[in-house]
Chains A and B, each alone.
Chain A
């Protein structure tokens, strides 16, 4: 893959990147704290118990570390830095961070909707909606000013993007409602295969868009065949989700099997683009994690395996594979691509992926034992205590690396 020249980072983009890294540090610190609380519950401070810290950890990683790089990407796509509203881009980032900080206090004080990853209600919800509206206004105004000089195709697609983004706050209010709940697999109490397909297809769509929307130069290899397959995947998702079902039924297992070709499609497509210098290490990592994520997701959904791993650390392993492995690589690649800055040296990157890999292997092993028999719930066997301590050690490495990244970013 050839690599294009680095570009200077505009203010809003740079600030979004810095805030994203700051939230990564916060999320990792809370994650480490949670790992320690499982071993020493007496460490808790006041009423801020394990159960109250969990939504902080989950949501800070999703809405801070994962979402703010997407905000940076949107600023980049809509050329906010070249518009008259450029000075409002950092303000929108601060609004986002303020909303997330307020929400974290909400969760710690027990104001929760109980919907994992959609934990928005009351003051937290309204604050976050306000932040999203501000971000949308900045993007919409930038589009209005900048789009006149764009090609018809770019103007049309970006306008469509503006309208789609306008629905996000409304969709958030709807999805966060306690009265709304997706399909449930009756045999596990968890999501159906089609639900998992839907969330993964969103990631696939983002990956197909990434190099085509400002993160790389040139064009990819995906032709009509690949795009038609993507549309068909979405159609299959719609039908399977409407039918519902369990992980014992073929149409639900098949829903996940159709993801397998994407393990190869995406790297094949990306290979033809010209990427920013310094991004290769993250692309390689991303494809490695992407392959593992899909294979692990499909495998863990199979009858017998899911029955044993459901409710155990085995599924926590999959979450960490998705967030700490794949999503972190995606966000890092995005930040490097739109700013030209690197997060850290190869040593820190290797330390991150190594710690994530050890943690995932550990959690899978622990999950397998947990699913066999449940006496660990009351007798705390040595293997579990050792596993939790090793997990905390991995968390310490991740925290240290993320601190080094933000330090390196601030100095660069």
Chain B
């Protein structure tokens, strides 16, 4: 306030409106409505790719032509006018030629407009206003009234944005302050923003094309949230850029986008992606528009325009197409590629100063060497499922929780079989002895556990062992790795025979000392998944087994027939299981626990199944 009057910077406001108009037009028309119009117009996939390719080529060309001719307000008005006409005509044209002309006109107009705006902005306003314009553009496109319209209406809305832009364009002004706020070199900016645009495009494609994802992040209920979030975060990004420079905003944007990309893959965290994604996009989009004027080291509109043309050609058009292409092929955003994008973004932020150039070279050489090593690694063809499964065992780090070594003279032999021989174990390359047990030794597990039991256990460990500290490995069964792992583990039991001691073993404790409550708890934790809560062999996993589990109430009790005391016969089955069937043993339980569980099982047989 000066002398009691509010000083309004009209040029800055008009600049923000122009930014919003260009962003709004690009988002709602080029990214959405035009694609839908193509599809609605009967253009097949190849034609669609061709049209979008034409738009990209025209955009890149338009940007460089603007830089070459020298940007100005008149040129920008003409470009926005062409953008308005082409968007307005899009719903009316038909056929490949018509759509091709719209693609070329729109692309060229957007190329000229983006380069012109980003190069001239510094003459119109401070960097903080860029956030206001960017946020307004994104917010407008996310308003339910715009977002939910038919493609033809969206095209006309986009034309309207462009017309508003024509009216708002201020005249070209010289920069008052030509010193860059901070110099982020062109190679760094291109690499950084290309990584972010690529990640954004891939994540957005996935979100928009998987119905479940879209409902959780971009559904009807979330459009207002997204609009407000885009606006607030972009405005904050503008203020942040003015205070700290251009390096850290993209780094935080990557963190947001990476969290969104990770979260979107799991149903439980999907809703969080809807918060992180708009925030990340708004952050980097603001920095992207601000870079040519404030952070590229340019001292006027002409050099800023050249930097802008190069930046938008690679980071805007090419990276976007690449990200969408990858998402179309893989239908997901691989975590490794998210991490690579992070390495690029953080690497540029850290290494872009002159002092760190050598470090950049050194890190680049390490990355190249690692890439070379990755290309060489794992090319040997493995045809055996068991051998592939051994690799899965290794890759999943099973050795960190399970040993494969039965020590001579120890209780290992009683529980898991004959002692391992060093000569045999050392034949493995690598050796898989392991050095820690969070679970049992697996040297002979193939004989003691059936393939069906293993599968159920990998999928839902805590259904079979309620207190297990083993995580679910369900993901292994999406692409055959689970079956390979089972084949490997099953192979460990080939030729294995349990010693005769198991047929003569009896619990070393009297039944009278058994804790009934412990038996019920153990049965609930270890048995009901197969045998059911009432012991009738109808547990939730029973259907996945080769043969139905024994009905502990009505029998038949084939496996516990014999002349020995019934309690001992049942206890042996509880302890060691039944080889060759899906009945797993509970080798590690103490005699007291085996007896308690045996008593619980015998209660079913005695018609006391409902005892609690």
Contact = CB atoms under 8 A, between A and B. Distances in A.
Interface of A: 37-39, 41-42, 44-47, 49-55, 87-88, 90-95, 98-99, 101-102, 105, 109-116, 121-127, 129-131, 134, 178-179, 181, 184, 186-190, 307, 310-312, 315-316, 370, 373-375, 377-380
Interface string B460-477: 010001011111110100
A116 B369 contact: no
Contact of A91 (B362, B378, B438, B461): B362
7 contacts: A41-B472, A42-B472, A184-B431, A189-B407, A373-B588, A377-B440, A378-B465
B397 A112 contact: yes
B471 A49 contact: yes
Given A111-B377, A114-B430, A95 B365 contact: yes
B501 interface: no
Given A47-B475, A123-B374, A378-B589, A105 B336 contact: yes
Interface stretch (B126-134, B275-283, B418-426): B418-426
A46 B435 contact: no
Contact of A189 (B420, B439, B589): B420
Contacts of B586: 378
Contacts of B366: 95, 98-99, 102, 127, 130-131, 134
Interface stretch (B218-226, B232-240, B306-314, B408-416): B408-416
B588 A50 contact: no
Contacts of A88: 358, 362
Given A51-B396, A378-B465, A315 B435 contact: yes
A134 B362 contact: yes
B336 A110 contact: no
Given A87-B358, A114-B430, A379-B522, A311 B339 contact: no
A126 B369 contact: yes
Chain A CB count within 10 A is highest, among B396, B465, B471, for B471
A188 B407 contact: yes
A323 B470 CA distance: 26
Contacts of A39: 469
Instruction: Please name the 7 residue pairs, one residue from A and one from B, whose CB atoms are nearest each other, closest first.
Output: A51-B397, A126-B373, A122-B377, A110-B395, A380-B467, A189-B405, A127-B370
A116 B431 CA distance: 11
Interface string B355-379: 0101101110111111111101110
A212 B30 CA distance: 69
Given A46-B266, A110-B395, A375 B370 contact: no
Contacts of B373: 122-127
Given A126-B374, A311-B436, 13 more contacts: A37-B469, A44-B471, A90-B358, A91-B359, A98-B366, A102-B367, A110-B396, A122-B377, A127-B367, A189-B405, A315-B436, A316-B436, A375-B590
Contacts of A45: 262, 266
B335 interface: yes
Contacts, number: 212
Contacts of A47: 475
B571 interface: no
Interface of B: 262, 265-266, 335-336, 339, 343, 351, 356, 358-359, 361-363, 365-374, 376-378, 394-401, 403, 405, 407-411, 415, 420, 422, 425-426, 429-440, 461, 465, 467-473, 475, 522, 525-526, 586, 588-590, 593
A99 B370 contact: yes
Contacts of B335: 46, 109
B335 to A, nearest CB: 7
Contact of A52 (B396, B410, B588): B396
B467 A130 contact: no
Contacts of A379: 467, 522, 525, 589, 593
Nearest to B443: A189
Chain B CB count within 10 A is highest, among A37, A115, A121, A130, for A130
Given A91-B359, A126-B369, A307 B410 contact: yes
Nearest to A103: B370
A217 B397 CA distance: 46
Given A123-B374, A126-B370, A187 B396 contact: no
Given A102-B366, A127-B367, A189-B403, A122 B469 contact: no
Given A94-B363, A111-B395, A375 B589 contact: yes
Contacts of B433: 184, 189-190
B401 A51 contact: yes
A181 B435 CA distance: 14
B415 A38 contact: no
A50 B401 contact: yes
Nearest to A88: B358
Chain A CB count within 10 A is highest, among B378, B400, B475, for B400
Contacts of B343: 101
Contacts of B398: 51
Contact of A109 (B336, B358, B411): B336
Contacts of B339: 105
B478 to A, nearest CB: 10
Nearest to A138: B362
Contacts of A98: 362-363, 366-367
A86 to B, nearest CB: 11
Contact of A123 (B371, B395, B411): B371
Contacts of A121: 377
A26 to B, nearest CB: 14
Nearest to B518: A379
Contact of B369 (A130, A186, A316): A130
Given A90-B359, A112-B394, A115-B430, A124 B370 contact: yes
Contacts of A315: 435-436
B397 A184 contact: no
Contacts of A37: 469, 471
B426 A181 contact: yes
B387 to A, nearest CB: 13
A185 B439 CA distance: 22
A50 B376 contact: no
Contacts of B351: 94
A377 B365 contact: no
